[in-house]
Amino acid sequence: MKLSYGWVVVGAGMLLTCVGIGSMLSLAVFLQPIATDTGWSRSGISMAATLDFLFMGAASFFWGALSDRLGTRVVVLSGSVLLGTGLIAASRATTLLEFQLLFGVLIGVAIGSYYAPMMAAATAWLEHRRSLAAALVSAGMGIGSMTISPLAAWLLNSFDWRSAMLTIGAATWAVLIPASVLVRPPPRAAHGSEAASPPADTDYPLTGSQALLTPQFAALALTHFACCAAHSGPLFHMVSYVAFCGVPALLAVSVFSLAGLSGLGGRITLGLIADRIGAKPTLVAGLLVQALAISAYLFVGALGEFYALSVMFGLAYGGVMPLYAVLVSDSFGPRIMGTTFGAVSMFANLGMALGPWAGGYVFDTYGSYAWLYIGSFSAGLGAVLVSLTFRPPRFPPPRRQVSLQPA
């Protein structure tokens, strides 16, 4: 019965990442209304998203290490309070700098409390279903883009952007604070007895600081960085790009939502495939498809083509995301999962930070998004190449005491 509660923790993780990531990515829908109302540049507004990813990355390492010490519930509860505060405060911002600090820094720190700690908690609860648990928690990110963004677009039809953002901020408090309370420590962490201690302490002897110095960590971190650098720009500027190509605004949002829905399917599909053939080959294949999908944006322009490409792109970028958590858990064990995956997520968010700013800069400079997709395609190929270098660590077998038996 205790193990069954792990699915409640997974559900809470899905909800937290859904609303958290979805609220942050909804800035893509707010981008044009904010620019029109305030006169702020697109690159300036997009800088808030860049700051989001930068501070989310740094905070992921902090929150992940803190969850290893204090538990996941206190971490995600603190993040939920901060997230609602950041959204409401950003909706009242009167200058671009104030908006960048509130939406970029405060919300980024808040969302950093969700992904790595909840991945660690979910995989610890469901050890024999780690790929599925990681895929479901990660799926919340895809659900977020296909739910919060349409909600933002619907609110913008009736209210100005400030009222719409304030409403979303209040809703995050109402939904995420109760969800945070549902998170409990896994049975071994709760009991703390020697009998309940996981064998991972001998199977994975490294400390957190030692793990961060291994070549395996470097390969995972660099792959995740390049992967996120590749898809963050096309993802964040998808609504603006599709609208720039002549598609009506609401239909442009639907293209973005379809990518999120496909990302949800990709997480589950690639998670199941990884259980059969392994996480590494699945990751390499997914990264290659992602790079090809990004390059295809240079050659499409009609709504139907955008829908088809959103499916391909979503399946690829969404499907590879939970595989990093599986590889980290397999490489370093659950005992330091919060620290190690938090550090990997920090590099991933550095990559995510490049895309929104780069896309805004490219458009403001050239009046086109072409160079964004060329650069993103190059980063995607880099991720494929780095992922091929990953090798799981090999630890010496633990010493076993041999009892002598009389002849």
Going by pLDDT thresholds of 50, 70 and 90, the confidence category of residue 396 is low
State the pLDDT confidence band at 377, using cuts at 50, 70 and 90: very high
User: 37 vs 43, which has greater pLDDT?
Assistant: 37
Q: Which residues of 294-308 are buried (b: 16+ CB within 10 A; e: fewer)?
A: bbbbeeeeebeebbe
pLDDT of residue 249: 75
User: Position of tokens 């992921």?
Assistant: 60
Q: Residue 127 pLDDT > 50, yes or no?
A: yes
In a domain, 396, yes or no: no
Query: Are 208 and 338 contacting, i.e. CB atoms less than 8 angstroms apart?
Result: no
pLDDT on residue 269:
87
Per the prediction, the chain carries an average pLDDT of 85
Joined tokens for residue 164:
């719409």
d(C-alpha 293, C-alpha 231), whole Å: 10
Question: Please, are residues 17 and 144 in contact by the beta-carbon 8 Å criterion?
Answer: yes
CATH of the domain at 102: 1.20.1250.20
Split into its structural domains, the chain has a count of 1
pLDDT for res 193:
38
Residue 231 pLDDT:
92
User: Rounded to whole angstroms, how far apart are CA atoms 10 and 70?
Assistant: 19
Which pLDDT value is given to residue 367? 85
Q: In this structure, are residues 42 and 203 in contact, taking their beta carbons and an 8 Å threshold?
A: no
Reported as a pLDDT band with limits 50, 70 and 90, residue 356 is confident
Other C-beta atoms within 10 Å of 193: how many? 8
**What's the rounded Cα separation, in Å, for the pair 319 and 272?**
10
CB 263 within 8 A of CB 279: no
407 in a structural domain: no
CA–CA dist 179, 298 (Å, integer): 41
In a domain, 103, yes or no: yes
Burial of 127 by CB count in 10 Å (0-12 exposed, 13-18 middle, 19+ buried)? Answer: middle
Task: Look up residue 98 and give its two tokens.
Answer: 């104030």
Question: For residues 113 and 205, which has the higher predicted lDDT (pLDDT)?
Answer: 113
More confident residue, 194 or 81: 81
- Residue 52 inside a domain? The answer is yes
**Mean pLDDT of the 300-321 span:** 90
Does residue 193 lie in a domain region? no
27-38 helix and 6-25 helix, angle to the nearest 10 degrees: 30
Is there a domain that residue 7 lies in? yes
* Tokens of residue 347, six digits: 């590099």
Per-residue pLDDT, averaged over 379-394, amounts to 88
Residue 132 — pLDDT band, cuts 50, 70, 90?
confident
Q: Name the percent of the chain lying above pLDDT 90.
A: 40
pLDDT(406) > 60: no
Q: Pick the residue with more confidence: 178 or 266?
A: 178
CA angle, corner 152, sides to 148 and 158, nearest 5?
A: 150
Given this model, what pLDDT does residue 290 score? Answer: 95
More confident residue, 263 or 304: 304
Average pLDDT score over residue span 356-360: 82
Q: Is-contact 220 351, C-beta < 8 A? A: no
- Would 289 be classed as within a structural domain? yes
pLDDT interval class at 197 (50, 70, 90): very low
User: Taking 90 as the threshold, does the pLDDT of residue 8 lie above it?
Assistant: yes
Q: Are 112 and 79 contacting, i.e. CB atoms less than 8 angstroms apart?
A: yes
Q: Tokens 């409390």 map to which residue?
A: 113
Q: Poorest-confidence range of 90-94, 181-185, 237-241?
A: 237-241
Tell me what pLDDT residue 365 has.
87
Which pLDDT does position 266 carry in this prediction? 87
Q: How far apart are CA 40 and CA 46, in angstroms?
A: 10
Report the percentage of the chain scoring pLDDT > 70.
Answer: 91
pLDDT of 401: 47
Q: Which residues span the domain enclosing 64?
A: 3-185+204-387
Sign of CA dihedral 259, 100, 105, 221: positive
CB count in 10 Å sphere of residue 385: 13
**Alpha carbons 68 and 65: distance in angstroms, whole number:** 5
- The whole-number average pLDDT for the span 114-129 is 84
CA–CA separation, 43 vs 249, rounded Å?
20
Least confident of 294-298, 331-335, 378-382: 331-335
Average pLDDT over residues 4-30: 90
Output DSSP code: residue 382: H
Alpha carbon of 246 to those of 31, 309, 337: distances in Å?
Answer: 17, 17, 46
Per-residue confidence (pLDDT) for residue 91, from 0 to 100: 95
Decide if 106 contacts 82 (C-beta within 8 A): yes
Among 48, 149, 144, 185, which Cα is nearest to 105's? 48
Taking the C-alpha atoms of 140, 142, 148 and 152 in order, what is their torsion angle to the nearest 10 degrees? 160
Which residue did the predictor score with more confidence, 384 or 262?
384
- Token output for 306: 């955008």
Question: Is 398 inside any structural domain?
Answer: no
Are 10 and 129 a contacting pair, CB within 8 Å? Answer: no
pLDDT tens column, 134-165: 888 888 876 877 789 889 989 999 999 999 99
Predicted confidence band of residue 394 (pLDDT cuts 50, 70, 90): low
